[in-house]
Amino acid sequence: MKFIDSRFRSYFRVLKLVWKAKPSYMALAILLTVISAAVLPAQIWLSKVILDRISEILQVSSQAQVVDWYALLVPIGAIFIVWAVGGTCQSLSTEASMFVSLHFRNYAEFLVLKKATELDVAFFETPMFYDKMENALKNIPKAHNLAWGSLSFFGSFLSLSAVLALLLKLHPLAIVVLLLTSAPQAIVHAYYANRWWRIENSRVPARRMATYLSSLLKSRDAVKEIRVFGLGKPFLRRFREFWQQYFVAEKRVRLSKERANAFLGLASSAGTAGIWIYAVVQAIWRTITIGDVVLVFQAAERSRSMLGSFFRTIGRLYEDTLFAENLLSFLDLSPDSVEGALSRRHRSQIRVPRPIQQGIEFRNVSFHYPRSDRLVLKNLSFTLRPAETIAVVGENGAGKTTLVKLLARFYDPSEGVILLDGKELREYDLEDLRHQIGVIFQDFIRYDLTVKENIGLGQIEHVDNMNRIVRASEQGGTRSIIAGLPKGFDTVLGRTFDEGVDLSGGEWQRLALSRAFMRDAQILILDEPTAALDAFAEHEIYERFADLTGGKMTIFISHRFSTVRMASHILVLQNGELIEEGSHDGLMRQDGQYARMFNTQAERYR
């Protein structure tokens, strides 16, 4: 019972989603369905009336009486009107279905993307999240089919009920025979729906791999390595292997299902044939009229066809409900359902002080990523003061970028606490906290949008404020680059769209810097901010660094010690531990790890 109850709840939830996508079109579709449902029984009944009146006219004509043409032409005119109304409703219903489909697919995809934006970064570290999102997006059409199938089911039910009622003219057992010979089709369809649903869900990771390989083979960024290393053929082979396995499984299920349907179709036809024979016998015995025979023939045949479609629709509705649950499952993801999700036990929603008074303190902070026991950061303790410039250095894998992720509160510490002005970071309103942080990541995004948008997205509420955008472009050193573009700030960048202009790696990085400066934040975090810049461009940026970051707490990660030495406070990480801390001169006097790293790099330039 719990399983059935769960299916019913999922079924009605999907219907509610489709209704919310476009209520007016759904209301129109329901109205058209009700009108269309009356067409078939009306047509069958009017056919009987016409034949009976013809029979009566022939009997009267044989006695040399006047033909009552009015009695004959009225039902003929009525059946013409029924056909016209039915055809119009069918055409309008098709258009309504198309509009509902367009609106719902956009609405459902919006809900999936909205859910993705609400979930923590920890979700994006788990294959489970991508499997669920893939399933949700892939099965949006199933959810629409469920709604439209329900309308079809409703219309069929109304029409079928009326047609079956006509068979009462012959015998109530005719209805029982049709139901018994057609109902098994619903069970068979539900059985194969379960089989297909299990196959589809089991293949999600493999399907994502095939999609990934397809994207690689079409990617501008990947094409160079694929050509140089000869990866085209092996990737194509793996892509094809997946789809061949997929098609073999699909073929096996479909052939098995068609064999079962063929057998059940014969049983249904046999039941209808029995009803026909009984009707012929009754006509010969003169217990029913010729019009009644035609009515029974049409009603029995159409009922057989409609019952088969009716029960197959029930099976399809069950199948669509199973697949549509993948959409609901994603939308129902709990924000704390994966390891590493942000804690939500604090409800105070404190705003970040303006300005920050004491700074940020890491107190015995350790961290490991979800689904891993390896500590990336180990027992870190240090304090970052307001308006201070802090450099974080260390070998690759030392935990530098992870430290930035904790500061931006993409994750909470596994152990210890991070304090901002004496209060735990998690006590602050998350949106307000991130509003006070400007970040440029090492793997920054290159938006294939206009220059203005590439900079303005740093503070979305001011994306149209040209004064701020121009100022941020000057701070990031992009004014000369923009001046050389065909449409200046309105130039579309990248190669995705027509007239797009691509930039060099260094130019993109300057643009990302401008985006970080766009944000009027108290904390500025720069992860390898000059990695793609040449020596002259880097020198230009850091010559003005004090002016650009004045009044902000600035934290930057860099492997270039010529820039690190500008920091007033340097943290040296090794294997996730803080091994040294101080100014450049102080650390050089200690002659420890920092001094060795600095001297090693300096030696390369002598």
The percent of residues in the chain predicted with pLDDT above 90, rounded, is 1
Q: Which residue has the higher pLDDT, 460 or 279?
A: 460
| 3 state SS of 485 | coil
Token pair of 395, please?
A: 């070998």
End-to-end CA distance of the chain: 79
Least confident residue range of 33-47, 195-209, 451-465 = 195-209
**Backbone torsions φ then ψ of 384, nearest 5 degrees:** -110, 120
Q: What is the CA radius of gyration of the chain?
A: 36
- Residue 185 predicted with pLDDT over 80: no
Mean pLDDT comparison of 253-267, 425-439, 525-539, highest-scoring range: 425-439
353-379 pLDDT per residue, tens: 888 888 889 999 999 887 778 888 999
Q: Which residue has the higher pLDDT, 115 or 46?
A: 115
* Contact call for residues 366 and 416 (beta carbons, < 8 A): yes
**Backbone torsions φ then ψ of 350, nearest 5 degrees:** -75, 145
The pLDDT of residue 286: 67
Domain with CATH 1.20.1560.10 in the chain: 2-197+248-331
Beta-bridge partners for 350: 428
pLDDT band at 269 (very low <50, low <70, confident <90, very high): low
Query: What is d(CA 51, CA 296) in angstroms, rounded to the nearest whole number?
Result: 13
The pLDDT of residue 389: 85
The percent of residues in the chain predicted with pLDDT above 70, rounded, is 73
pLDDT band at 334 (very low <50, low <70, confident <90, very high): confident
Query: What is d(CA 237, CA 213) in angstroms, rounded to the nearest whole number?
Result: 10
Nearest to 163 by CA among 282, 299, 254, 64: 299
The CATH number given to 2-197+248-331 is: 1.20.1560.10
The pLDDT of residue 299: 66
Q: Domain 352-436+522-606 is classified in which CATH homologous superfamily? A: P-loop containing nucleotide triphosphate hydrolases (3.40.50.300)
**Backbone torsions φ then ψ of 549, nearest 5 degrees:** -110, 10
- Residue 64 predicted with pLDDT over 50: no
Least confident residue range of 75-79, 449-453, 485-489 = 75-79
pLDDT band at 271 (very low <50, low <70, confident <90, very high): low
Q: Which residue has the higher pLDDT, 251 or 9?
A: 9
Neighbours of 234 (CB within 10 A): 12
Least confident residue range of 18-27, 337-346, 485-494 = 337-346
In this prediction the pTM is: 0.66
Query: What is d(CA 317, CA 101) in angstroms, rounded to the nearest whole number?
Result: 16
Least confident residue range of 24-28, 63-67, 244-248, 295-299 = 63-67
Query: What is d(CA 487, CA 495) in angstroms, rounded to the nearest whole number?
Result: 16
pLDDT band at 280 (very low <50, low <70, confident <90, very high): low
Nearest to 462 by CA among 422, 429, 435, 432: 435
* Contact call for residues 531 and 509 (beta carbons, < 8 A): yes
Give the mean pLDDT of 17-36.
Answer: 80
The pLDDT of residue 566: 77
Q: How many residues does the chain have?
A: 606
The pLDDT of residue 220: 67
| CATH 3.90.226.10 is right for the domain spanning 447-520 | no
Helices (H), 360-465: 400-407, 430-435, 451-456
Give the mean pLDDT of 200-214.
Answer: 72
Mean of the per-residue pLDDT values for the chain?
77
The pLDDT of residue 58: 65
Element (H, E) at 235: helix 232-284
- Residue 123 predicted with pLDDT over 60: yes
Which amino acid appears at position 316 of this protein?
Answer: R
- Residue 347 predicted with pLDDT over 60: no
Q: What is the DSSP string of 79-90?
A: HHHHHHHHHHHH
Helices (H), 448-573: 451-456, 466-476, 479-483, 505-518, 535-543, 545-548, 561-564
In sequence order, which residues have a C-beta less than 8 Å from that of residue 406 and are 6 or more positions away? 365, 367, 377, 412, 413, 418
| 3 state SS of 539 | helix
Query: What is d(CA 526, CA 513) in angstroms, rounded to the nearest whole number?
Result: 8
Which amino acid appears at position 150 of this protein?
Answer: S
Query: What is d(CA 83, CA 45) in angstroms, rounded to the nearest whole number?
Result: 13
Q: Which residue has the higher pLDDT, 563 or 367?
A: 367
Taking the CA atoms of residue 30, residue 34, residue 39 and residue 42 in that order, the dihedral angle to the nearest 10 degrees is 180
Give the mean pLDDT of 512-517.
Answer: 82
94-112 pLDDT per residue, tens: 777 777 777 888 888 888 8
The pLDDT of residue 364: 92
- Residue 519 predicted with pLDDT over 50: yes
Q: Residue 231 to residues 223, 228, 241, 593: CA-CA distances in angstroms?
A: 9, 8, 16, 41
Query: What is d(CA 340, CA 35) in angstroms, rounded to the nearest whole number?
Result: 55
The pLDDT of residue 178: 65
Return the exposure string of 28-40: e unless at least 16 CB atoms fall within 10 Å of the residue's CB, then b.
Answer: bbbebbebbbbbb
pLDDT band at 304 (very low <50, low <70, confident <90, very high): low
Q: Omega before 355 cis (within 30°)? A: yes
Give the mean pLDDT of 15-29.
Answer: 80
**Backbone torsions φ then ψ of 29, nearest 5 degrees:** -60, -40
Token pair of 228, please?
A: 């140089």
The pLDDT of residue 537: 66
Give the mean pLDDT of 485-489.
Answer: 86
The pLDDT of residue 542: 63
Give the mean pLDDT of 413-421.
Answer: 89
Helix axes 2-21, 140-167, angle to 10 degrees: 100
Phi-psi region of 488 (alpha: psi -120 to 50; beta: other; left: phi over 0): left
Domain with CATH 3.40.50.300 in the chain: 352-436+522-606, 447-520
134-150 pLDDT per residue, tens: 888 888 887 777 777 77
Query: What is d(CA 195, CA 323) in angstroms, rounded to the nearest whole number?
Result: 12
